[in-house]
Amino acid sequence: MDLEIERLESRLAERWEEQISGVRFTGGKLFGKDAVLAVCGIGKTFAALCAEAMILRYAPDAVINTGVAGALDGELSVGDMAVGSAAVCHDMDTSPLGDPIGWISGLNTVRIPLDVPMSEELLDICERLGVRAKRGVIASGDQFVCENGRKREIRENFSAIACEMEGQAIAQVCFVNKTPCAILRCISDGAGGAMDYESFKKLAADNSAKVLCAYFENAR
């Protein structure tokens, strides 16, 4: 979200900007480390476009996708963090052809793995900062999912702990480009769905930025 990136951009030194395919990339030194920031936009297509442009143009050592998500796990509440262990596409469905729901043709898998050391570091930082966090599967799709029946279906199909609209696409682009990837999502909508999202997106942005700043401060 713009709210999140504003908190990180304000800490950039030697700042520069570049626009590619309609996406504004902002770079510079973040706590002394080279970093490039971008708001990819909503949905899997914009997310994939942004991730591919970032990798081909800037060749990052790693990509971290942050943002908000809806909880699928009863242990997660508004303001908590979901750290991805793997990413799935919940609205990818070629099951009439005999494939499992979520099957990514060409990669021949449902789950896109996420970088273990990065994910563990993000979990450790959440713990040190006193932010509740849980690691698990993140489900993505081109839907704002707030209906309880659909949430239950996604949870049962993929054992996912949270759902959102971009992470899997970014993870898939990173996977085929052999770029380590992590997903960090702050829970911003509970039973109230869209209402909760509007009420708590500032809290979500604050928590995400706090964790990412600590990550970059400690990065070697």
Give the residue numbers marked as catalytic: 4, 189
Q: Which residue has the tokens 């239950």?
A: 152
Largest CA distance in the chain: 53
Q: What are the DSSP calls for 75-115, one per residue?
A: T--TT-EEEEEEEEETT---GGGTPPTT-BTTTTBSPEE--
Whole-angstrom distance, CA of residue 11 vs CA of residue 31: 8
Whole-angstrom distance, CA of residue 52 vs CA of residue 168: 13
Q: What are the DSSP calls for 15-42, one per residue?
A: EEEEEETTEEEEEEEETTEEEEEE---S
Whole-angstrom distance, CA of residue 52 vs CA of residue 176: 10
